[in-house]
A and B are shown apart, each in its own frame.
Chain A
Amino acid sequence: MMLRKVIRFVQNEKLVPVYSSMLAIVAGLLVGFVILLLLNPSQSIQAFFTMLFAGLSNGPTSIGNVIYFASPIILTGLSVGFAFRTGLFNIGATGQLLTGGYIALLIGIRTTVFGPFTWLIALICAAITGALWSVIPGLLKMYKGVHEVVTTIMMNYVALFLVNFLVKQTIYNNLKNESLPAPADAVIPKFGLDHIFVNSNVQGGVFIAILMVIIIYVILNKTVFGFELKSVGYNKHASKYAGINVKLRGLQALMISGAIAGTAGAVIYLSDSLTFLKVQNTLPTQGFMGISVALLGLNDPIGIVFSGLFFGYLIVGGQKMQIFGLSPEVIDIITGMIVYFSALAIVFQNAAKRIFRMKAVDE
């Protein structure tokens, strides 16, 4: 009986990938532990457990911080994951996030006519900007066959330097080489979250993330539009033959993906937790982080929520590493390992199945 249950568990198509994501996390954490052991042998065990439990150690405050870090990467993860589902590899979430974030801040700082709804208008404009920023790669892909990986990644750098330039021209705080802060009306409301998660950085952006996840989930799984998007993603030829406007759907898919990344920008910068658009020569990390989140979350909107929260949790843990004289980048290495292992998920699955099969034969 027990064996039959195990068989059913391993064979359940829906569970196997989840199971291998878990394995990837465990394997990644183990490698992380080895790294800690090398960097700081005497305190490695302590550091490891601090990292593992930092997201919970201070109760609501820690949890609030986890949510704060998770919100934008759930959005960028959703952006990348959604594009994946429609057969596109959007590496341009960073650029869409930057342009969206900039427009959000510009509207937030420079307009007053919308009063308490300034944040909402800024948010919507960020989404539109993100969508528009992906139009160029979208058109090139659909009509000229230029691969979106190349174009979106180049658009990231165009976005970075364009936004640097525009920040200096319009909303510059030249004392700090960064943008001005978002005024109160432009901050996404927290609806009491800050009273639940006291003393944390928690922001209202989490509501936006959850809302977007629900919207994308419904589009992908319940609508005719989503049916067509997925169909195009899986098989362009069959979709064309079924009368779907493949080029238009592809362009729309990339624009939606861009819009989600654009809102991620708004979620980051329309806050009162001292995050400013910095004038710098490196790309913000949340964009590429989205690829990791999407990978571990198996490109599934619900999976992305969990993997986004997990990565947020790790970021909080990483900040505690300084106690042990380790830099927070240790966490980036561990994150990288986990993503690496989730890319190897198929190996885990096969290994698990092989071990399992041998057992079945022995019985």
Chain B
Amino acid sequence: MRNTLRMKHITKIFPGIVANDDITFELRHGEVHSLLGENGAGKSTLMSVLFGIYKPEQGDIELNGKTVEILGPNHAYQLGIGMVHQHFKLVRTFTVLENIILGIEDTKFGLITKEDARKRVLELSRKYNLNIDPDAKISEITVGMQQRVEILKILYRDAEIMIFDEPTAVLTPQEIKELIEIIKRFKKEGKSIVFISHKLDEIMSVSDRITVLRHGKNMGTFDAANTTKHKLSKQMVGRDIESPKLNTKPHLGEVALSVEHLSYTSKASGKPILNDVSFSVRKGEIVSIAGIDGNGQTELVYALTGLLQHDSGDIILNNESIGHETTRNRTLAGMAHIPEDRHKHGLVLEFPLEYNLVLQEYFTDRFQTKGFLRFDTIRQHAYDLIQDYDIRSARGPITNTRSMSGGNQQKAILAREISRSSDVLISVQPTRGLDVGAIEYVHKRLINLRNSGKAVLLVSLEIEEVMNISDRILIIYEGEITGELYPNTTSMQEIGLYMSGAKRGG
């Protein structure tokens, strides 16, 4: 089969790091070729080189047998290369059609004409079964639909090479299945596809070939038919990955956190979000709250941590009611929290790492005297945590937090929250967006915490995670706890039924 695209011996060097080290990547006509690698392995850099955003120090790009110099993203589009970005680039107040034609509008006497465009968009939508309504506003359609608009955008621009950058990160399981079907249809129509991900399941189900990158190097290209997830993950991480599991029975202590008849109604919409939620977490166990996104998990966590005031019910931490305390007082009373959105709630990205590591403690006597910060102890604290939690960064304590990788940012939050040895840790999707190695790390830490007699509440959307590392599973559906299950006596299928609301009770 002929190669549509060849990137030959690409080397891209940034100050202090070789992001791409002599990478050769070939994309055959009509294949799905996945790029697999941990965060920071060089996938995005390689694609940025392809789009002319970075100029490589070495190497050439060949398109259909001819060496080309790609000058920038627009030039790449002209050459038939299109990319569906992880973070969508859509105008929310525009319609689907307007977003698709944005930048290449047909005009007549200086006025935009949309009729031809509408016909073509509908045609493309039908051809690939995308089910798009061209007149819907972006702000009114689901994330999955928004992604399809992004796909239509590049189809409309006649892309022959389609690049999907972490396309499943934002999708629900159902949407992921549909996306994979769509990609297979593109393949049948002769498009060549690059699929970037670090999720092995998807990669195995969609790819013809897989190229693994690690630390900027090409670790080999494999036929999907002749390899296994295990082999791939070993190539990706450089060692065997074990998914940590709970091996011992919990040593249950007293009740650390207890939620009693918690209810909350949205002030804006008047919709009940949490309805009479009650549960408790004891010391020495990991309790998971599983559910499909948007069933009240976020509000429940906000209520627990004091970011939101609930309407009725109470929260008891170590036998004391904290339901009406400030966030600060809850923290001091022994609650630690790994928030869902680490960039929004977890970190002040502009701060150096050492400041973020004391974000919950800077006001204590250890880090201040008479209102003045004690920079020596802050620095020492940072060195200690960096060592203990293996937080990697370019410049240690003074690294700008924004410049750190997602995995290391999460490690920083873990370090900060766990090192305070609070009795209760509320951990919300702690592995979201992390690569395999970092997920393993986070799970190990949570299990250690449980084994050392702390209470862990894990809010997760991933059934596998829930099955692997919880002692008890609570299902949340439409703001209610609809089931309590135990990993030994339940199955993923059963949890799935509970999560979708098809089953309840028990």
Contacts and interface: CB of A to CB of B under 8 A. Distances in A.
Interface of A: 7, 11, 13, 222-225, 227, 230-231, 234-235, 237-245, 361
A242 B344 contact: no
B347 A243 contact: no
Contact of A223 (B15, B341, B371, B400): B371
Contacts of B305: 241
Contact of A239 (B348, B371, B372, B400): B348
Interface size class of chain B, counting residues whose CB lies under 8 Å from the partner chain: 20 to 34
A223 B372 contact: yes
A222 B371 CA distance: 9
Nearest to A361: B57
A-B pairs, top 5 by smallest CB distance, nearest first, are A243-B328, A234-B350, A243-B327, A241-B345, A235-B348
B464 to A, nearest CB: 28
Nearest to A241: B345
13 contacts: A222-B372, A223-B372, A224-B362, A224-B363, A235-B347, A235-B348, A238-B344, A238-B348, A240-B307, A241-B305, A243-B328, A243-B360, A244-B328
A231 B351 CA distance: 8
B355 interface: yes
Nearest to A218: B372
Given A234-B351, A243-B331, A227 B373 contact: yes
A238 B347 contact: yes
B398 to A, nearest CB: 10
Contact of A224 (B327, B346, B372): B372
A235 B350 contact: yes
A338 B339 CA distance: 43
A164 to B, nearest CB: 41
A13 B15 CA distance: 13
Most-contacted residue by chain B among A11, A227, A234, A245 (CB, 10 A): A227
A278 B327 CA distance: 50
A235 B344 contact: yes
B140 to A, nearest CB: 24
A233 to B, nearest CB: 9
A231 B359 contact: yes
B33 interface: no
Main secondary structure of the interface of B (DSSP, over half): loop
Interface in B303-356: 305, 307, 326-329, 331, 337, 339, 341, 344-351, 355
B368 interface: yes
Nearest to B330: A243
Contacts of A231: 348, 351, 355, 359
B337 A241 contact: yes
Given A243-B326, A243-B328, A243-B329, 13 more contacts: A224-B371, A231-B348, A231-B351, A231-B359, A237-B341, A238-B345, A238-B346, A238-B348, A240-B307, A241-B307, A243-B360, A244-B328, A361-B57
A3 B345 CA distance: 42
Contacts of B341: 237
Contacts of A230: 351
A241 B339 contact: yes
Contacts of B347: 235, 238
B344 A237 contact: yes
A11 B395 CA distance: 14
A237 B305 CA distance: 13
A13 B331 CA distance: 35
B135 to A, nearest CB: 32
A238 B359 contact: yes
Nearest to A233: B350
Most-contacted residue by chain B among A13, A222, A230, A237 (CB, 10 A): A237
A11 B57 CA distance: 19
Contact of A240 (B55, B327, B368, B373): B327
Interface string B355-385: 1000110110000100111000000000000
B363 A237 contact: no
A238 B326 CA distance: 15
Contacts of A361: 55, 57
Contacts of A234: 348-351
A177 B129 CA distance: 78
Nearest to B350: A234
A223 B371 CA distance: 6
A14 to B, nearest CB: 11
Contacts of B363: 224
A242 B373 contact: no
B348 to A, nearest CB: 5
Contacts of B372: 222-224
Contacts of A235: 344, 347-350
A137 B362 CA distance: 30
B12 to A, nearest CB: 12
A6 B329 CA distance: 50
Contacts of B307: 240-241
A48 to B, nearest CB: 39
Contacts of A243: 326-329, 331, 360
B368 A224 contact: yes
Most-contacted residue by chain B among A222, A225, A242, A361 (CB, 10 A): A242
Interface in B390-429: 400
A225 B368 CA distance: 11
B362 A227 contact: yes
A8 B363 CA distance: 36
Nearest to A243: B328
A238 B344 CA distance: 6
Nearest to B341: A237
Contacts of A11: 15
Contacts of B351: 230-231, 234
A243 B350 CA distance: 18
A7 B15 CA distance: 10
A333 to B, nearest CB: 34
A239 B344 CA distance: 10
Contacts of B326: 243, 245
Contacts of B371: 223-225
A223 B359 contact: no
A84 to B, nearest CB: 13
A218 to B, nearest CB: 8
Contacts of A237: 341, 344-345
Contacts of A224: 362-363, 368, 371-373
Nearest to A13: B400
A223 B327 contact: no
A7 B13 CA distance: 14
Contacts of B327: 240-243
B360 to A, nearest CB: 6
B186 to A, nearest CB: 36
A224 B355 CA distance: 11
B19 to A, nearest CB: 14
A321 B468 CA distance: 78
A224 B360 CA distance: 12
A361 B54 CA distance: 13
Contact of A227 (B337, B346, B350, B355): B355
A231 B359 CA distance: 9
Contacts of B349: 234-235
